Structure 1
Amino acid sequence: MTRQTLIYLSIAFLATACRMVAPSPQVHSGELDLRTFPFESGSAVALQGDWKYFPEEFDVPSDATAPTYLPVPALWNQLPLRSGAVDGKGFGTYVLDIKLPEETQIYSVYLPEVRTAFRLIAGNRSLVSGVPGHTKETTTPSAQGQSFTISAKDKLQIRIEVSNFHHKEGGLPNAPVFGLAESVQNYILAQSTMDLALTGAIFMFGLYHFILFFYRNKQREAFYFGFFCLVFAVRIPFIGSKTIYAMFPNIPWDLVIYAEYASVFVLGILFLWFVDGLFPRFIDTKIILYFSAYVQFMLVYGLIIKPEVYTQFEVVFQVLGIVYAVFLGIRLYQMVTKGLPDAGIFFLGYLILFVGFVYDVFLAYSGGGDSTLSQIAVFLFFGVQSTIVTLRTARTFRKKILLKEEFETINEQFILTNRFYAKFIPRDFLTHLGKESIEEVRLGDSSEREITVLFADIWEYWDIIYSIPLENRMLFTNSYLGRIGPCVRKNNGFIDKYIGSAIMALFDGGIQNSIKAAEDIQWELEKYNERRITFGYLPLHAGIGIHSGDTMLGILGEEERFESTVISDTVNLSSRIQGLTKKYGARILVSLTSLMLHEDLDTIPYRILDFVRVKGKQETVMIAEVLIPDIDAISNKKIENREQFEAAIFDYERADFVSALEGFRAVFANNPEDLAAQIYIERCEYYQTAGVGEDWDGVSAWEK
């Protein structure tokens, strides 16, 4: 049970304690001896028992002989009928003689509501609630309790003149309370305070369920139970000690009685909707709708007619209420037998509520006075409901934990799946397509942008492949590719395709990233060769071709098979440039137009290599060789001879083959491993003999 429930139950029991008065001696034949009663203990006396009764009389003399005696509390129309008022209508006077201690003390008398009107007389003091009269026209009804203080000793006579012409029930349904002034006033104050406290506590309980509903709007039972609590909280000031009069002294009596009766109907239908929300579809919705229509009719009916009419049907309402409660109890028991979650504890709470309701109906019928049992039962039921909310919240929390764990597992699997798919379709490729995940990719998705394409391949690949066992070929290829992949990624590129030992990598951050990646690949290959040489393997040489341009990235294939691809002349040209690296003995070749886009070109050692026309292209491309300092002696020599080599290139382009041949021979003499110089020597020697035509443009045509 939650802390909140314990607080509410404590308030309920405190309320019960405050309503209790000390066990008092019974009134016999209109007399009560209180000479030995311990007034000093702070206790008050409930003046219960047989009072003298004078029917159809007011202003009864103090020494008059009573024609009959009536029990207090009791109703005039209570069986067996002793009041003479068959239908509870009429007027009369109750008289009680009290023997008191000899010393003079200040006493107080408090009389709760008397349905319609009364005048309380003791000694030389009197007060009224409403205006008691001999007829309906001369009577002004009121449901407000009254009290006053009086100084007395030895004996005291209390007279209560009662009239009722506006309600089914007449008489004294509540016993007057008598005691020392301070004790009675404390009793009244405690009653009123606890009524207000109970109202506030139940109101807050209802507000809590409303908040619960607004945060979890699928929990209809929280809404209906919150509404039930609010109506019950509003009802409390209109019953019992009628604290509504403390807030609104001039509130009409008709409204007080209407609120007392109407709230019972509203509470009944709200409770039914609450049960339907708690256990959906277990009670036929048509029954609830029929009962709701009946309640609406009764609410309107009560506004139209007077209380003296609809209170005549109180017994009928009470019987219907018991039938309704029994029917609901049977359905709840069926829920228990079917093993519905929380049905057992809810049924237990309902039994407590049912007992309190039936007991209050019995007291109302017998005129036995007010009882706090129904309020205790309601608070116990609140505790049951709070327990159910706690259990369901705990189950919901556990479900959320399980769902969270399941979600995390699925999410982890999803992440792993995405990572796995990213090995087939790189994340960067999806980013270029504007997609968050592989699941968003659709056939035909594409994006056009300027991209730098890098091709890299091993010159000796096929020679090595054919020289090693079949089972080692894949291991060798993956060993090499596993070293160059990180070089691409750390320079903000991604590998789009593997073509045997060749890779095609894309860079979106400018030419400088691709050149840096190419340099890193060459250095990584040098490290790999050192390891291969220690095992007696041949060293590897990779040629890299780079070109930038407009590129179309997209998804090709058909509905059952997708593949990412790049379609562009840029791809074809970079592949052709890579194919020239082995012919020129160059590690890295770049189209000069792309190289000129480098942001720090002065920091890149390069030399213009040739004007070429590659296979399938009519346009000429000037290519440059990017040189890497200190990677090997050949590269250092190329850097050293760069200016002399480029001067010879320009002589060659002008068809000055004598000067060009002299320059190339000087470069070759200094660096016999420079294949490009050797190629140009052979060309110059040929053209010196064969000559060139007028259409000479110095372009070399390569068919591969």
Structure 2
Amino acid sequence: MYLPEVRTSFRVTVGNRVVLSGFPGQNKQTTFPSAQGQSFTFIAKDQIQIKIEVSNFHHKEGGLPNAPIFGTAEAIQNYILAESTMDITLTGALFMFGLYHFILFFYRNKQREAFYFGFFCLVFALRLPFVGSKTIYAIFPNIPWELVIYIEYASVFVLGILFLWFVDGLFPRFIETKLIRYFSAFVQFILVYGLIIKPEFYTEFEVVFQVLGVVFAVFLGIRLYQMVVKGLPDSHIFFLGYLILFFGFVYDVFLAYTGEGESSLSQIAVFLFFGVQSTIVTLRTTRTFHKKVLLKEEFETINEQFILTNRFYAKFIPRDFLTHLGKESIEEVTLGDSSEREMTVLFADIWEYWDIIYSIPLENRILFTNSYLGRIGPCVRKNNGFIDKYIGSAVMALFDGGIQNSIKAAEDIQWELESYNERRRGFGYLPLHAGIGIHSGDTMLGILGEEERLESTVISDTVNLASRIQGLTKKYNAKILVSLTSLMLHEDLDTIPYRILDFVRVKGKQETVMIAEVLIPGIDSISDQKIAFREQFEAAIFDYERADFVSALKGFREVHSNNPDDIAAQIYIERCEYYQSAGVGEDWDGVSAWEK
């Protein structure tokens, strides 16, 4: 025989055997309440007398809520085991549901519904051992009856308020938040008040609580249906779960009131309800994760576009220029940014550019220019320089690593141009000749313009002088000219074939600039001859500076006779012949005036 919970204590007598749950007495003082069910085995006879004594001084309802269950010992034990297994399984499942949703909330704390649903699951898991078959007694046989009843009643209120907050998390502001807060305050009051008063008092209001529960369930059902009508995301799934829970409990209540026995439909409904709601939270988490993946991909796409944009803008404002300004990206550049530093400036230009430009169709002029410039840029960059600007066919490049990088870049440009000319000759085009001027000194790098149009630039006498030196290349038919003061800074000067070419003074300034011609072995026969006779040429230069025009003229004529294409030697022959006949004053210093 198995006798489930009796309110609030009982004594069963079968023959000489007595089984107690609590201790039934004649009054409240002699009664000890308990909600623990009891089972026992007895030998069946043709006639047997079973006496059940019940006392109740602690609960609104008394007597036997459920009829005793009779059967074989094995059948009764299997029944109790099945009930306990069901409770433990549901408790464990709900606990795992709760833990899972707490983990979801931990990784995404903005997902409030995961927190409230996880809390809801844990409270429900805590409630299950205190209701139904009261499996809590298997763990704590001496647990106070008052605590069991308090948790049974209090958990209903806690579950109700957690469910409302869960709905608010899923569908924000669809249920008035202020109303939920008021209800939360009421529940807190009930919980505290229930600890103060006795169960026999607050169980008197059980019908009131049931009516409030029905009103609560109907109100919530109406609001959920309105959410479905409005087409809120996941509202139809949520409403389905709510209907399963609602009708499961209604069916069990109906069976209880009609006396047709119990069913496990309510427990199955609870489990299905939790499964449905967990599905909603999981779907939202999955959508959120998918959205994060899409946002990540979108961010990566935007970032790639940003990088490409930066690279594109870097073609207008070089990355090295930004580095010298102390900027990480072009977005940081503002009007007026500047930096003062010592740099080497290289100017390169084609001597025949304008003659060629005017001889080709208009639509081919840009193509021709870019074809040439496209060969200059790589030579500059691979020698640690960067191009600051293009001025027609002219290129202005900057170097921060010493004069040797600019010299090497100039040599590479001339070799690249030589290769380009071989291709041009194959198509019957005239060869190109480029002159390169180099000078080192202090420079001011900065951003000029106005807010809607910015441009990087370099302002200094160094730039001006490098440009003027480049302008002399065509006059002297020199491939590379460099100021001698800059050339002397070369780390391996002994490896560079060069010759001193001229002493010039810029208009408006007193300083004399010595110009040297850097020679490239093997690039053409003219350069090789210049290298072979550079000592004679420089000796004649110094004779010229001392106004020893007879000796200078002899030296220049010797150089020119061996290399008739040495234009510089021809120029100095003409100068010597002129000054030899015209004479010079006492202030003669051999310096040429630079009028441009």
TM-score normalised to structure 2 length: 0.93
**Aligned residues of 2:90 and 2:271 also touching (Cα < 8 A):** no
- 1:247 matched to 2:139? The reply is yes
Query: 2:151 maps to which residue?
Result: 259
Indicate the SS of the match to 2:227: helix
Cα separation, partners in 2 of 1:158 and 1:589, compared to 1, 3 Å: farther
User: Given residue 339 of structure 1, which amino acid in structure 2 is its aligned partner?
Assistant: G
**Aligned residues of 2:388 and 2:396 also touching (Cα < 8 A):** yes
Q: What is the CA–CA distance in structure 2 between the aligned matches of 1:556 and 1:151, rounded to whole Å?
A: 109
Q: What is the CA–CA distance in structure 1 between the aligned matches of 2:284 and 2:379, rounded to whole Å?
A: 56
Query: 2:427 maps to which residue?
Result: 535
- Given candidates 417, 426, 431, the residue that maps to 2:318 is 426
Q: What is the CA–CA distance in structure 2 between the aligned matches of 1:344 and 1:173, rounded to whole Å?
A: 37
Query: 2:211 maps to which residue?
Result: 319
- Given candidates 520, 526, 529, the residue that maps to 2:418 is 526
Cα separation, partners in 2 of 1:613 and 1:643, compared to 1, 3 Å: same
Query: 1:606 maps to which residue?
Result: 498
Indicate the SS of the match to 2:160: helix
User: Given residue 177 of structure 2, which amino acid in structure 1 is its aligned partner?
Assistant: T
User: Given residue 192 of structure 1, which amino acid in structure 2 is its aligned partner?
Assistant: S
Query: 1:554 maps to which residue?
Result: 446
- Given candidates 472, 482, 485, the residue that maps to 1:580 is 472
Cα separation, partners in 2 of 1:148 and 1:694, compared to 1, 3 Å: farther
Instruction: Give the drift of 1:628.
Output: 1.1
**Aligned residues of 1:235 and 1:259 also touching (Cα < 8 A):** yes
Instruction: Give the drift of 1:406.
Output: 4.2
Cα separation, partners in 2 of 1:636 and 1:296, compared to 1, 3 Å: same
Q: What is the CA–CA distance in structure 1 between the aligned matches of 2:197 and 2:262, rounded to whole Å?
A: 26
Query: 1:499 maps to which residue?
Result: 391
Unaligned 5+ segments in structure 2 are none
Cα separation, partners in 2 of 1:605 and 1:152, compared to 1, 3 Å: farther
**Aligned residues of 1:552 and 1:567 also touching (Cα < 8 A):** yes
- 1:512 matched to 2:404? The reply is yes
- Given candidates 279, 295, 315, the residue that maps to 2:187 is 295
Cα separation, partners in 2 of 1:570 and 1:153, compared to 1, 3 Å: farther
User: Given residue 312 of structure 2, which amino acid in structure 1 is its aligned partner?
Assistant: F
Query: 1:450 maps to which residue?
Result: 342
Query: 1:281 maps to which residue?
Result: 173
**Aligned residues of 1:315 and 1:365 also touching (Cα < 8 A):** no
Q: Which runs of structure 2 are paired with 1:338-357 in the superposition (5 Å)?
A: 338-357=230-249
- 1:304 matched to 2:196? The reply is yes
- Cα deviation, 1:370-399, whole Å, max 9, x if unaligned, reads 653332212111221133234334443554
- 1:470 matched to 2:470? The reply is no
Alignment RMSD? 2.5
**Aligned residues of 2:7 and 2:55 also touching (Cα < 8 A):** no
Larger fraction in strand: 1
Indicate the SS of the match to 1:128: strand
Moved more, 401-410 or 550-559: 401-410
Query: 1:23 maps to which residue?
Result: none
Larger fraction in helix: 2
Query: 1:200 maps to which residue?
Result: 92
- 1:567 matched to 2:459? The reply is yes
Q: What is the CA–CA distance in structure 1 between the aligned matches of 2:193 and 2:397, rounded to whole Å?
A: 85
Instruction: Give the drift of 1:363.
Output: 6.2
- Cα deviation, 1:645-669, whole Å, max 9, x if unaligned, reads 2333334444444443333322222
Cα separation, partners in 2 of 1:363 and 1:235, compared to 1, 3 Å: farther
Query: 1:666 maps to which residue?
Result: 558
Query: 1:14 maps to which residue?
Result: none
Instruction: Give the drift of 1:300.
Output: 1.5
User: Given residue 20 of structure 2, which amino acid in structure 1 is its aligned partner?
Assistant: V
Indicate the SS of the match to 1:271: helix
- Cα deviation, 1:201-253, whole Å, max 9, x if unaligned, reads 21121111122122222221111111111111111111122222233333221
Instruction: Give the drift of 1:697.
Output: 3.8
TM-score normalised to structure 1 length: 0.79
Indicate the SS of the match to 2:29: coil
- Cα deviation, 1:253-283, whole Å, max 9, x if unaligned, reads 1111111101000101111111111111211
User: Given residue 485 of structure 1, which amino acid in structure 2 is its aligned partner?
Assistant: G
- Cα deviation, 1:387-445, whole Å, max 9, x if unaligned, reads 32343344435544544554455444434433332332223323333334333322122
Instruction: Give the drift of 1:520.
Output: 1.7
Q: How many residues align?
A: 596
**Aligned residues of 1:173 and 1:368 also touching (Cα < 8 A):** no
**Aligned residues of 1:173 and 1:367 also touching (Cα < 8 A):** no
Q: What is the CA–CA distance in structure 2 between the aligned matches of 1:120 and 1:694, rounded to whole Å?
A: 145
Instruction: Give the drift of 1:310.
Output: 0.5
- Given candidates 372, 375, 379, the residue that maps to 1:480 is 372
Q: What is the CA–CA distance in structure 2 between the aligned matches of 1:511 and 1:415, rounded to whole Å?
A: 32
User: Given residue 241 of structure 2, which amino acid in structure 1 is its aligned partner?
Assistant: G
**Aligned residues of 2:341 and 2:443 also touching (Cα < 8 A):** yes
**Aligned residues of 1:174 and 1:368 also touching (Cα < 8 A):** no
User: Given residue 203 of structure 2, which amino acid in structure 1 is its aligned partner?
Assistant: T
Query: 1:392 maps to which residue?
Result: 284
Instruction: Give the drift of 1:566.
Output: 1.4
Moved more, 286-295 or 343-352: 286-295
Q: What is the CA–CA distance in structure 2 between the aligned matches of 1:246 and 1:654, rounded to whole Å?
A: 121
Q: What is the CA–CA distance in structure 2 between the aligned matches of 1:500 and 1:269, rounded to whole Å?
A: 78
Instruction: Give the drift of 1:542.
Output: 0.5
Cα separation, partners in 2 of 1:700 and 1:176, compared to 1, 3 Å: farther
